[in-house]
Chains A and B, each alone.
Chain A
Amino acid sequence: MLHFLVVGILIIAATILTYFGVNIMWQLPLAASTQATPIDWLWDVQIKAMSFLFALIVVPMAYSLLVFRRRKGETGEGEHFEGNTRLEIAWTIVPLIAVLTMAYIGAGNLADVRRADPQAMVVNVTGIQWSWRFEYDNGVVSDELHIPVGKQVLLKMTSNDVIHSFWVPEFRVKQDLVPGRTTELRITPTVVGDYKVRCAELCGTSHAYMEKPVIISTQDDFDTWMVARVEEAEALAATPEGAGQLLVSANGCAACHSMDGSTVIGPTWFGLAGSQVELADGTTVTADDDFLYESIKAPQAKIVAGFEGQQMPEYGFSDEQIANIIAYIKTLR
């Protein structure tokens, strides 16, 4: 009986120690959305349960190892008992009730996380290897996501190429972007600040770098930004190279093609137009309009030497859009 008493006290002590120890070592990032609140609450409940169960198993094991170990010179076998049906039934039924309760709480928690605001601001999100494209209701397109604080945003997301996943760790919630369908994610940011959306579903070579800024600002700052974007877009759209620049930033071309001569994934665009390009098959061509057009329209037709392993996706641009992009590339020198 004494054994059970000691073990019981030790279990309580170990539970408390484990809970505090785990909380020091494991910390969630800043909670910056309404959705984070129930998730963090449930996580804390689970850490408590984990600490208790950890102590419940480890303490009697460690105690047995210390107290019941075979000492030097000792012979004989352990105490002979084969089981206890009541105990077995108890530790089947009690955990069963516990997990069903946890699932019930979990379902309610999920409902809290998914709570929808009918007034939510809609942003259309497209995942691209390896960039993000955010399109607002008024047609403004950006590779940064700006949201006013305290307002629920409904992200309607899809992908052009492979599966991606939208995740801002500070907002907790995560949702995959699947080609051929639209998935939804609701986020209500609560803390002004600069965050990053980080693609969480492996999407190929530069998956690690598929990160873009997510800016949570006051409604005023958001409105200022939006107005500036609208004006900037109008100004740029007036010239072909400006329109090209808009397309380039909206489609994340810079994820692979640098504008400054460095090599990222694909060939740089700096000084590209009109230069001599060596191809993988050993021939050399001039990067004239026809070559650039073909390289955008059918990326696999001619592979530049040194980039044999790369697979640029086809973007389905119109001829006019391609002409604008070429006009933009020509400005990079």
Chain B
Amino acid sequence: MKRNQSVGRGLLFLLIAGLIGYGIGLGLDTLIMKNVRFTAPVPSAFTLLFAFTAFFFGIYGYRGITRGLVFQVLGTLIGGFIVTGIRAVMGLQLFGGFFFSEPAWVFGALVGAVSFLFGVGVMSDWVKWARGMDTPDHHEDEPGWEKYFGVSLDHKVIGIQYTVTALFLISVGGLFALIFRTELAASGLQFLNVGMSLFGQNGPQLYNTLMSLHGMIMIVSILLGISGIINYVVPLLVGAQDMAFPRMNAFAFWAAVPASVLLLMALVLGGFDTGWTGYPPLSAKAPVGMQMFFLGVFTAGWSSILGALNVIATVARMRAKGMTAWRLPIFVWAAIATSIIALTATQLIGLSFQLVMFQRLLGMGFFEPSKGGNPVLFQHLFWFYSHPAVYVFVLPGLGIISELLPVFVRKPLFGYRWIAMSSLGIALVGFVVWAHHMFTSGMNEYLRVPFMYSTLLVAVPTGVKFFSWVGTIWKGKITTPTPMLFVLGAIFVFLLGGLTGPPNATVSVDLHLHDTYFIVGHFHDTIFGGFVFPFFAALYYWFPKATGRRMNEFWGKVHFWLMTPSFLILTFGMMRIGLMGMRRRIADYDPLQGFDATHLLLTICAFGIAISVLIFFINFFHSIKNGEKAEGNLWESRSPEWQVPSPMPVHNYEQPFEVVGEPYDYGLAGSKYIEFVPAEGGKH
């Protein structure tokens, strides 16, 4: 069936099933609460689950992702009813305002997430192996677009699945930001006020939920985005046929899908008001949405850990002949550094959330002072991951900058080894700086100065990168097509993020800056410079590799020239009002502090960014079928993936290649990075 027809049918199904789900939910809610509540959590939850599932059923039929979602819905219900049954035997209350009780939701959601993985089919080979059955090494994917909705073991398909899921989540998280950014345009509460009610939340509560979910959904989308680029590009760069563990690779991607569903469930199941950090005791008191959030992050964590393991194994074991450590493409170094962090630190955020989960479910007092617990302990556990996580987000982006820069300045990467080592340096120093998030937390005071020293040390390897990039650009033959514009934008924006970091690291100044919009502006600079700009650069750069067509240059430049100034004003303005006393995470602000004009400007800029991203989306999806053909070495790159035609052949390189030179010797006459050689044992 044609793609457009399928999408039309999917949307129709979404509408119908959404209405049916709403009817069932409303009926159940009315039955339990003896009261008709149109905007309550239960009808919304049923609407969400039914509509999503039906959408994919309409597009793709009952297989792959649809089957996964059906299994997730059924698994959630079955798990929920099992706990409800146990509660019936124990004589506890069975149902409430959220339909299931909290333990029933938690167990149901967990069963649902696992059921999804069985339903989607990513476990079937392992199940068959356990039963002593053989499976083929390679599963052939169907041609066309439909393979992206089912389990594929091809790293290129998985890379695109990751990327598209990331783009979906970026638009969801961005939409949330637009909603609360609009509320912030003027002081006072305009539409998220106390009188309104949605998903069982009034305006300020909904503000808190949207603000919190904006944070975590964006974080998950970033994790998926970097996995997307890494998955697609790293095996091509090192000359591998696929990732080291293709089934685990598929598993890692598909685990992120139920995780995303759980995060969205958090919105409708009463939300939560803690920010993405989920600090107890507040998170111990929030509605059941908090638990969905914890489970969502927990599940996304599996994805991150397993993906990282796979990257490390692939680079360690599957490099082309002659690709020694100092001849690795620089992006691979970044991927390794980021994977080391993701593999070893992600557990801590899972653990810290799990402890709060248990505190809520089982009454364990880990962070409850009246039971001998310690709320500050949570912050240590949380930030032990969540600070290094920032480097998980930005290191691949910095790798993309270093990878693309030589191509567009036609010059070798300046100080290759120093850049490679600086990635590892940032990764390692990143492990011992977490408590700089806690200078005002009430932790032992003597800890603050050592953490100031360690945090400021991060500036050293980061500085090496900047200086080396300047060295790379210096005396190049610079061209500025869209990917290069985004690379330059990335360097500029990340520089602003980097320079506004040291004041936060210095304890005394941070006593003023902590928990203000200065911090919000600072980290949006680091994340946009370290991830968003490089991510767009990578998409514009490798799009022809994946599709054989290029994205429209004109609209790409419009995207850049609209997004960059909007974003710069946005973060600069955020830092301005932060210094003046604008606190983070507030739905309303004191008009006497004089923020109104700046906030209005910030909201306008936020819409500017949204429009530019919308332009990107239209360009992206339109160019897949209609873009200008680009099957050759479009950017005149030395990198191996550009030495074969686009789109990339299914099994990557027909002939393996051997590394015979330096990766970035642009301008050195007669030099080559790779040479294709006949496969060992003759031609096949």
Contact = CB atoms under 8 A, between A and B. Distances in A.
Interface of A: 25-29, 38-39, 42-43, 46, 49-50, 53-54, 57-58, 60-61, 64-65, 68-70, 74, 76-84, 87-88, 91-92, 95-96, 99-100, 102-103, 106-107, 109-110, 112-113, 161-163, 165, 167, 169-170, 172-181, 183, 196, 198-209, 211, 263-265, 280-282, 305, 308-309, 311
B627 interface: no
A95 B463 contact: yes
A88 B195 CA distance: 60
Nearest to B456: A99
A34 B249 CA distance: 57
Contacts of B459: 95, 99
A213 to B, nearest CB: 12
Interface string B623-654: 00000000000000000000000000000000
B34 interface: yes
B412 A80 contact: yes
Nearest to B592: A196
16 contacts: A27-B580, A29-B580, A38-B508, A39-B511, A43-B503, A57-B470, A76-B410, A77-B667, A81-B414, A82-B416, A99-B502, A102-B502, A109-B509, A110-B448, A204-B208, A208-B583
Contacts, number: 302
B507 interface: yes
Given A77-B410, A309-B197, 14 more contacts: A29-B579, A39-B511, A57-B491, A68-B409, A70-B478, A78-B477, A78-B666, A82-B415, A83-B414, A83-B418, A167-B515, A176-B441, A203-B282, A280-B33
A312 to B, nearest CB: 11
Contacts of B469: 61
B11 interface: no
Interface stretch (B115-123, B269-277, B300-308, B346-354): B269-277
B287 interface: yes
A26 B500 CA distance: 12
A68 B480 CA distance: 12
A26 B586 contact: no
Interface string B452-466: 110011011001101
A39 B509 contact: yes
A24 B442 CA distance: 34
B281 A162 contact: yes
A6 to B, nearest CB: 13
Contacts of A169: 512, 580-581
Interface stretch (B83-91, B369-377, B553-561): B369-377
Contacts of B416: 82-83
Interface string B566-599: 0000001001100111011111111000000000
Contacts of B411: 77-81
B495 interface: yes
Nearest to A104: B453
Contacts of B270: 309
A88 B34 contact: no
Given A162-B285, A178-B375, A309-B270, A106 B480 contact: no
A175 B442 contact: yes
Given A39-B511, A88-B464, A200-B514, A82 B412 contact: yes
B344 interface: no
Contacts of B464: 88, 91-92
Q: Which of A96, A100, A109, A308: most chain B Cβ within 10 A?
A: A308
A309 B287 contact: yes
A252 B34 CA distance: 34
B194 A201 contact: no
Contacts of A26: 575-576, 579
Contacts of B35: 280-282, 305
Contacts of B375: 163, 178-180
B282 A64 contact: no
Contacts of B491: 57, 61
B581 A198 contact: yes
Nearest to B470: A60
Nearest to B281: A162
Given A88-B418, A110-B448, A174-B512, A99 B460 contact: yes
B580 A77 contact: no
B511 A60 contact: no
A58 B466 CA distance: 10
A102 B665 contact: no
Contact of A68 (B97, B281, B471, B477): B477
B476 A64 contact: yes
Interface stretch (B49-57, B60-68, B198-206): B198-206
Contacts of B33: 280-282
A281 B589 CA distance: 35
Point out which of B270, B415, B460, B491 has the most chain A C-beta atoms below 10 A from its C-beta: B460
A200 B512 CA distance: 10
A61 B488 contact: yes
B278 to A, nearest CB: 10
Given A68-B474, A207-B585, A281-B33, A174 B511 contact: yes
Contacts of A174: 440, 511-512, 514-515
B440 A175 contact: yes
B515 A208 contact: no
A100 to B, nearest CB: 7
B369 A103 contact: no
Contacts of B479: 69-70
A64 B583 CA distance: 40
A180 B471 contact: no
Interface in B170-214: 194-195, 197, 200-202, 204-205, 208
Given A26-B579, A110-B507, A165-B440, A61 B516 contact: no
B668 interface: yes
B111 to A, nearest CB: 27
B576 to A, nearest CB: 5
Interface string B495-537: 1100110110011110110111000000000000000000000
Given A176-B442, A203-B282, A107 B449 contact: yes
Nearest to B35: A282
Given A102-B506, A163-B375, A180-B375, A64 B473 contact: yes
A78 B667 contact: yes
B231 to A, nearest CB: 30
A200 B273 CA distance: 14
B467 interface: yes
B462 to A, nearest CB: 9
B359 interface: no
Nearest to A107: B449
B492 interface: yes
Contact of B478 (A64, A100, A180): A64
Contacts of A175: 440, 442, 511
A200 B373 CA distance: 23
B403 to A, nearest CB: 16
